[in-house]
Structure 1
Amino acid sequence: MSRALKVLMLSSVSVVVALGAVAQDTSLEDRIAALEAMVSELKTELATERANREEDVVRIERTVTEAPAAAPAPKTDGFLVGDTTLKFGGFVDADVHVTSLSDGAIAGSSIARDFYIPSATPIGGEETSFTDFTAESSRFFLSASRPVGDDTLSAHIEMDFLGSGQGNELVSNSYSPRLRRAFMKYKNWLVGQEWSTFQNTSAIPESASFLILSDGMVFVRQPQIRYTNGNWQFAVENPNTTTLNAGSRDENLIPDVVARYNMTGDFGNVSIAGIARQLRADFGTEEDEAFGYGLSVSGRLMMGEKDDLRFNLVGGEGIGRYVGLAASRSTALDPNGDLEAIPSYGGLVAWRHPFGETARFSGGYSGLFIDNPDYLGGGVTSSVQSVFGAILWDVAPNVTLGTELLHGIREEESGADGSITRFTFSTKYAF
C-alpha cells in the first residue's frame, strides 16, 4: 500500500472523529473551519508524496541513460572442446592450366603439371602442348590450443592433395592427402614440421597458381626444433645430402643449423638468415663429407599505401635443395670419391599493385645460377629463370578469381635449353 493511500485513509478517519467531537462542542462555523484545515493539510501531504515519486523516476531514467552500453559478446575464433579451442579452415582451389613446352613433355602423373617446378622443364624433345583441370591444391588444416599455466600450448596440422601417388585421371580422380605442416608450439619453442627457418614466407609472391617464381626462392618445409627470442630465431633442422652423381644420401649425423634475425616495422619486414650444413655420404666401403653454408636476405617492403615489393636474395655452397625446389644439388662426387659442395646463387623480385576495389596485379622475375664442376659434363642444369604476370580479383568475400601467364627457361652446361609457357585460370574459396 502506497504512502499516499495510507495518509488518505488515516486522514479520513481523523476527519470523522473530529467531526463527531466538533458536533458536540462547537458551532457549525467552527466545524467547517476545522474541516477545511484538515483538507488543506491532506493536500499538502499528497503534493509532497507526488514530488518524491517524480524525483525517483528522474533518477532512474538518468541512471539508465548515463550507464555505459553493455560490451558486445566476444567473438570466438574456433570452438571449445573441454578446455581446448579447435579451429578448422583451408580453401578449395580449382585450376585450369594450358601449358606449352618447347622441347619435350611432362608426364601426366607429374606434380610439375600442377605448378611450376624449374628442374622439370624438358630439354631436347619435341614441342608439346596440353591442358589440365585440377583441384589437388585444395587444402585444409586443424589447429588446437589450450592454456598451460600462464601460457598456451598450440598445435597445427595441414594437408593438401598435390603429388598424390594414389589417384589418376581415368575415372574418379581420387587423390590422397599429403602432409604439409604438423607442429606444436609452447612459449618460445616450436617442434615439428614447419617452413624452414631459413625461409621468409612473406617473400612468396601472390599468384593464381599454387607457386610461382620458385627458381631463386628459398622454399623448404621440414621437421625441426626452433627457438625464438625476440627478433632472433635459432633452429636445428632435418639434414639430407643430395648429390648430382651419387643420388640422395641420408647418412648425416649433424642436423642443419639455421640462425635468423627478423626486422619488422611500417616499412614491412626483412629477414637475414644463415645456414650451416654437414654434407655426408657413406658408400659402405668409404665415406666422405663436406661443409655447406648459405646466406639469405628476404622480405616484403611496402611501396606507398598499398603496393608492396617482395624479394629474396640467396647464395652459398651446398645449399642445394633449399633453393629452386632442388633445381640443383648440394654436392657432387669427384673422380677421387670426395664430396664437393656446389656453389649457387639466385633470387627473386615481385611487385604487387592493387587497383579498383578488390583487384590487384602481381608480377616479377626469378633466377638461379649454378657453378657446377667441369667433370660433370654438359648435361647438368646451369641456370633456371622465369617471369610471370597475374591479375587477381575478389568477386565475393573469400572468393578469388585469377589469371596468370608464366614463361620459364632451363639451361644446361652444354648451352642447350628448353622453355615452358603456361596460362592459368584459378578459382579459390577460402574458409
Structure 2
Amino acid sequence: MSTSFRMLLLAGTALVSSSAACAEPASLEDRIAALEAMVAGLKSELAAERADTDREVVRLETIASAAAADKPAASPSGFTVGETTFRIGGIVDLDAHFTTLSDGAIDGASIARDFYIPGATPVGGDETQFTDFTAEASRFAFTAERPFGDDKVTGYLELDFLGSAQGNELVTNSYSPRLRRAYVTYGNWLAGQEWTTFQNTSAIPESASFLILSDGMVFVRQPQIRYTHGNWQFALENPNTDTVNAGARDETLVPDVIGRYNWKGDFGNVSLSGIARQLRADFGPSEDEAWGYGLSLSGQVKLGKRDDIRFNLVGGEGLGRYVGLAAIRSAAVDASGKVEAIPGYGGLIAWRHPFGETARFNLGYSAQWADNPDFVAGTATKSVQSAYGALLWDVAPKVTLGTELMYGIRETESGLDGTLTRMTFSTKYAF
C-alpha cells in the first residue's frame, strides 16, 4: 500500500471519528458511504497504475533481452517486425554415396552424382565405381506472414545448393544457392513456384538420400497460379514441351491445366489428379502441336498404429517431365516437324515400418514404361525401374542418421540396359 493512500485513509478515519461525536446518525451513514466510495475509486486508480507499470517493465525487459542477443524481440512462432512475423528453418544434410555403374560413367559435375536420376543411368559402356560426399542438399527457408483483413498474406522462399553451376571439389566446394520454392498465398490463392498440383508430396518415400524411387513418381516444382476450395484444387502451371529427339521446346502457348481432389481422414490421405497440356514445337517455317493428358492416384495410407504405405499410380499421353524426373519425354518430332505425344505409365509403392522409439525401416519399388514411336527407337528410354531399403534412426531431437541401399535399371528401345547400385550414408539436422 502506497504512503499517499495510507495518509488519505488515516485522514478519512479521523474525519469520521470527529464527525461521529456530533453528527446525526443518518448524516454519519451518508459520510461513511461517501468515504467508502472515495476509497474504492482510489484503489481502482492505483491498480490501473500498477498494471501500466508492470507492462512497461515487461516491455523494457524484452527489449533489453533482444538487444543483448542482437536480434528483434521474438514471438513463440518467430520474430515480429511491425505487423510481419518471420520464421527461418531448413536442413543441414551430409550424404556419402558409394556408386557402381554397370555400363558407363556419370560426369563428376553432374547432379546425378548427388541423387538418383533414372534417365541418367548410362548404357553400353564399361563398369565404373566412385565415391561422393556432398552437403549440397542442405537448404534454408524463410516465411513472412502478416494479417490482412479477415485473413493473412504469407510469403515463402526456399533454397538449396544442388545442381549449382558454381564451385568444384578441388579446394573449397563452394556452391551457389538455387531456387526451390518461392510463392505468396492469400486466402484460397497461391501464386509463385511450388510443387505441381499434379503431385501429392505425402507420397514421397522416406529415404537416407535426397530422393528415392523417382522412376514412377510425379515430381515437379514450377511457377503456377493455384486456387483451393475445400478438397478441390485447380491450377494453371508453367508449360514446356520436352521432346525425345528435338530438345526442350519453349514455344507452348497454353498453360498446363491441372485439377485435383483430396480425401483426408484417419486412414491417411489420397489424391486424384488430372492434367491436360499443349505440346508444341516451332521450327520456323514448320510448327505443330499435340495434346497430352493423364491421371495420377497417390497418397499415404496408414497400416495399424504406426506403419504406412506410400504410393503413386500414374498414366497418360505426353506426361513426360511430370514423371520420373523426365526419364521419358512428353513428345517426339518426326522428320516433317509433326509432334506426337508419347504414352507412358508407371508408379511406386513404399512401406514405412517404425520400430523402437526412434528408428524405422523403409522398403519400396518404382517403375515407368514408355511407348515411344518407331522413328526414335535406339537410345530413347523404354523403361526405368528401381528398388531400395533404408534404415533411419533419430539419434537426437531432429537429428537423423540413415543408411540405404538402392538398385536401379534403365532399358533403351535398342535393347541395351545399364544398372546403378548405390549405398548411401547420411546425417540430417532439421531446424
Question: Same fold by TM-score, threshold 0.5 exceeded?
Answer: yes
The one-letter code matched in structure 2 to 1:271 is S
Deviation at 1:335, TM superposition (A): 3.3
Write the distance in 2 (CA, Å) between the matches of 1:220 and 1:273.
Answer: 14
Q: Which residue of 2 aligns with 1:91?
A: 91
Partner amino acid for 1:351?
W
Question: Once the 2 structures are TM-superposed, how far is the Cα of residue 376 of structure 1 from its aligned partner?
Answer: 1.1
Question: Could you give the per-residue CA deviations for residues 67-118 of structure 1, whole angstroms, max 9, x where no partner exists?
Answer: xxxxxxx972111011100000001001100000000110000000000000
Specify the alignment match of 1:254 in structure 2.
Answer: 254
In 1, Cα distance between the equivalents of 2:167 and 2:337? 41
CA distance in 1, matches of 2:224, 2:380: 31
8 Å CA contact 2:353–2:360 kept in 1: the answer is yes
1:273-352 residue pairs with structure 2 within 5 A? 273-352=273-352
Q: In structure 2, give the amino acid aligned to 1:273.
A: S
Cα displacement (A) at 1:246: 1.2
1:247 Cα offset (Å): 1.2
Q: Give the secondary structure class of the aligned counterpart of 1:421.
A: strand
Quote the sequence identity (%). Answer: 72
Cα deviation, 1:330-373, whole Å, max 9, x if unaligned, reads 11012332100000000000000000110000110000000001
1:418 aligns with 418
Deviations 1:357-407 (A, max 9, x none): 100001100000000011112221100000000000000001000000000
Match of 1:398 in 2: 398
* 1:7-58 deviation line (CA, Å, top 9, x unaligned): xxx9xxxxxxxxxxxxxxxxxxxxxxxxxxxxxxxxxxxxxxxxxxxxxxxx
**Within 5 A, what are the aligned runs for 1:63-78?**
76-78=76-78
Q: Deviations over 1:263-314 (max 9, x none)?
A: 0000000000000001111111111000100100000000000000000000
Q: Report what 1:114 is aligned to.
A: 114
SS of 1:119 mapped into structure 2? helix
In the alignment, the residues of structure 2 paired with residue 337 and residue 91 of structure 1 have an alpha-carbon distance, to the nearest angstrom, of 46
In structure 2, distance between residues paired with 1:384 and 1:204: 18
For structure 2, the residue ranges without an aligned partner over 5 or more in a row are: 1-5, 18-73
Amino acid at match of 1:278: Q
Q: Measure the CA separation in 2 of the matches of 1:337 and 1:153.
A: 46
Secondary structure of the residue aligned to 1:164 is coil
Separation in 2, partners of 1:414, 1:245 = 15
Where does structure 1 differ by over 4 angstroms across 4 or more consecutive aligned residues?
none
Report if aligned partners of 2:283, 2:337 keep a CA contact under 8 Å in 1.
no
Query: What is aligned with 1:369?
Result: 369
SS in 2 for 1:325: helix
Measured in 2, the distance between the counterparts of 1:296 and 1:318 equals: 13
Distance 1:304 1:78 in 2: 36
Please list, as runs of the form range in 1=range in 2, the aligned pairs for 1:39-188 lying within 5 A after superposition: 76-188=76-188
Confirm or deny that 1:219 pairs with 2:219.
yes
2:84 partner amino acid = T
Q: Partner residue of 1:64?
A: none
In the alignment, which residue of structure 1 is the partner of 2:64?
none
Q: Distance in 1 between matches of 2:408 and 2:289?
A: 34
**Separation in 1, partners of 2:180, 2:304:** 34
In structure 1, distance between residues paired with 2:391 and 2:414: 37
Q: State the 1:413 CA deviation.
A: 1.1
When the two structures are aligned, how many residues end up with a matched partner? 364
Distance in 2, matches of 1:145 and 1:292, equals: 38
Cα distance between partner residues in 1 of 2:142 and 2:335 = 50
Q: What amino acid maps onto 1:412 in structure 2?
A: T
Q: Which amino acid aligns with 1:245?
A: N
* Corresponding residue of 1:32: none
Could you tell me which amino acid in structure 2 is paired with residue 174 of structure 1?
A: S
Query: How many Å separate the matches in 2 of 1:102 and 1:340?
Result: 33
Structure-2 separation of matches of 1:101 and 1:214? 18
Structure 1: segments with no counterpart, 5+ residues: 11-73
Q: What amino acid maps onto 1:279 in structure 2?
A: L
Paired letter, 1:122:
P
Larger Rg, first or second structure (1 or 2): 1
Report what 1:67 is aligned to: none
